[in-house]
Structure 1
Amino acid sequence: MAYRYATERADHSDLASGRVFRSAPGYPGFPVRLADELFQRAAAYAGDRPIALWDPCCGSGHLATAVGLLHRDRLSRVLATDADDAAAGLAARNLELLTAEGLAARERELRADADRFGKPSFLDRAAAARRLSGRLAAMGGDLPRAVRTGDAFAPEPPGPVDVVLTDVPYGDLSHWSGRLPEGDPVPALLRALAAVLPGGAVIAVAARTRKVALPEGTAALERMRAGNRAAVLVRAGDLRGGPGRT
């Protein structure tokens, strides 16, 4: 089935890339409202147990960190990997915001910057870090997390994972690394991820395209569109071999 997403319009401005989260050129953020919707849809297939989340194309870690702060009460751990060492380093700094100390340190840093540069906007950002700290504490406190460098087309076993949630590179601001398969790389990516996941894991992939391609013969659990992005949800156990198709 295909859906247009319809999450209630909560204020997610504190989670915007570059506000409390750290950002850098070439590592774009992800729409927080769409991240919220995708995770909730994927988590619904995982049942009521605590969910281990993996983003295998994590970039700055914005998507994984935002979901962690939105849904700490549903999550058991967060893993973020990327083929680019610089991306993994930036992601590690952002995933530190899934801890009380990480958010407190970020608040102190932003207040110091407000004094140094005389910009009230840094005080607003520091206040956002404090609000996020309160949110994290109310939902269970520090979230176990790990960041490492890894090729999504030849991934190492990630350990227990219930939901994969990722936004694939789209060429103008972010790029694939390493040697890519011919044609659309997404079906090959899905098969590679499925090979190291339990069959019941749900993979949710977003891309800047009209429709995310699946391997031949694979049925989607759901499809979504939001602005210039499309997304697909699929079971890892349903991804087995075959060429890509749309």
Structure 2
Amino acid sequence: MTDLQHQGHWRPVEDHFKDWDLKSGSAVCQYLDCGSAVSVNTTDDSPRRPVWRVSVLCVKLTSGPRDCVGLHGSFNLPSGVDVVCSDLLPQPNISLSDGVFEVYRQGFRVLVFSDFTVTCSVRPQYPGGSFRLISDTEKPLNLTLPAVNHSARFLLSSMGYAHRGNYTCVYHVDVYNRSFTSSQSSALYLTVGDLVTNLIIRVVVLVSALLIFDLCLFFFYKVSVKRIRMKAETNAMRVVEETSHL
């Protein structure tokens, strides 16, 4: 049951005329900084005790329920109002993994046509829900995955230059048959690395390796030829010596 402190006393809020609804309940939740009203119900099984009679019309027009207690606000009635607030959904987080080529001040760089994973997560508050991944790229993305352990992993494959831009996450959850959506996460900026540059680097490394291999073969050939020549000269001198002895 919703209690209100007024004139130093905590008492339930009375709903004698059954005129409390989600709009008036949302005004109370906003006043308490607890999001929106999920449900507003009348309770008739509470023990008879003093309650505060609050003007519903006043609550809808003003921001403070305390200012809406009637002049004869104290009644000894059993009915009361029960307001359930949604609380504010936390802002989701967004991160990048599996395919990062370079990290720089503005964001992340990935190789063109590579695969990478964007992870959306949220602080545990409600079970279930879903995440939506949005981008402002040349080819906009709008993907939705169910939340598993308060997170979702979006695998993006073969991304091209048209997918450079900002990526954000939004969390959505149903509570008491009502839908709630969080604010967008902070933006994650992605740019695509130039594959030609990467190819040039690989070619340079390959050419350098081939040059080193060729130099090794050249020196090996020179050493082998020198050994063969020395061996031939040694054999020739030995033949000459043997002939002279004869």
Query: TM-score, normalized by length of structure 1?
Result: 0.22
Which entry has the higher C-alpha Rg, 1 or 2?
2
- Looking at secondary structure, tell me which structure has more helix per residue: 1
Higher relative contact order (CA 8 A, sep 6+): 1
- Looking at secondary structure, tell me which structure has more strand per residue: 2
